[in-house]
Amino acid sequence: MYLSKFESSGLILPRLDNPARYSRFQQYMDTKMLLMMFVSRLAEQISPDDVLINVCNPGMTAGTGLGKDVKNPGFAARFFIPLFVKTVGRSVGAGASVYIHALITEGRKRHGSFISDWTIKPYPRLMYTQKGQSMRERLWQETMEELHFASDSGFADLFASGREKFVNNQN
């Protein structure tokens, strides 16, 4: 997450789709950072009275199957990494408890936060810079364009319409 070096002055999503740029570990770090950017922006759009939105990091968790779909794994991917994860990683229950902590313990007051190791952590440094804020806004706009098919007005309208229908059905 914090190791990501992803910086883009142009379009973000096409860069992720570029097979020439793909490296499994780098893509993992980059998409984690972009997830943080997107979710922090999404949390600004949605009231915590409607939905609590946070980025949760369960930490290295053994038993999840992460990496099992790797084609032609090398020696390290077949033997060393699984042994390391099994030895050092958290149980699935412990990893899941980070999500429960985010909802129950942190609640509304921490809406839009990054939660890891059962505590609020700062977002990556890039997100606090002008460059990072610009990238976050471009990611938001690109994603809204991608989701436009779901509603003539886009994602924001789709959510508002769903909430309005829910409220009307309660009366």
Cα 128–chain centre separation: 17
3-state secondary structure of 90: strand
3-state secondary structure of 96: helix
- Closest alpha carbon to 55 in 147, 129, 132, 121: 121
**What's the sign of the alpha-carbon dihedral 78, 81, 87, 93?**
negative
| CA–CA separation, 105 and 16 (whole Å) | 35
Name the DSSP letter for residue 61. B
Nearest 5 degrees, angle CA 71-CA 72-CA 78? 100
Strands (E), 22-113: 55-57
Active-site positions read 28, 32
| CA–CA separation, 48 and 59 (whole Å) | 25
